[in-house]
Amino acid sequence: MANVEIYTWSTCPFCIRAKALLDKKQVDYIEYTIDGDEEERGKMATRANGRRTLPQIFINDQHIGGCDDIYGLEAKGKLDQLLEV
């Protein structure tokens, strides 16, 4: 199983939607809830090539992007391959 990490805000609808897809696929993931923590958001942005929007998703230390990006991978049939499902 892949190592999945997701940076979120607890009330972010895009974060909730991205986690719902991972939950539907029964993927275990590490969630970093950074509500209002600018220092942690800065660390996330460094990992995410400057992207500061939430969520930011990483699979096996590879930056995947946000909610639209993970749903795009799913629509193309490429997400399962990354997740090794």
What is the Cα–Cα distance from 32 to 79, expressed in whole angstroms?
Answer: 21
CA-based nearest residue to 29, from 42, 15, 48, 40: 15
* Tally of domains within the chain: 1
Residue whose token pair is 């897809």:
21
Asked if 33 and 85 touch (Cβ cutoff 8 Å), the reply is: no
Token pair for residue 64? 């995947």
Collect all residues with Cβ–Cβ distance below 8 Å to 22 and sequence separation of at least 6. Answer: 4, 6, 29, 70
Which CATH number belongs to the domain containing residue 44 in this structure? 3.40.30.10
Q: Per-block average pLDDT, block size 10, for the chain (85 residues)? A: 95 98 97 96 97 97 97 97 85
- Domain extent, residue 9, equals 4-83
Q: What is the pLDDT of residue 85?
A: 55
pTM over 0.85: yes
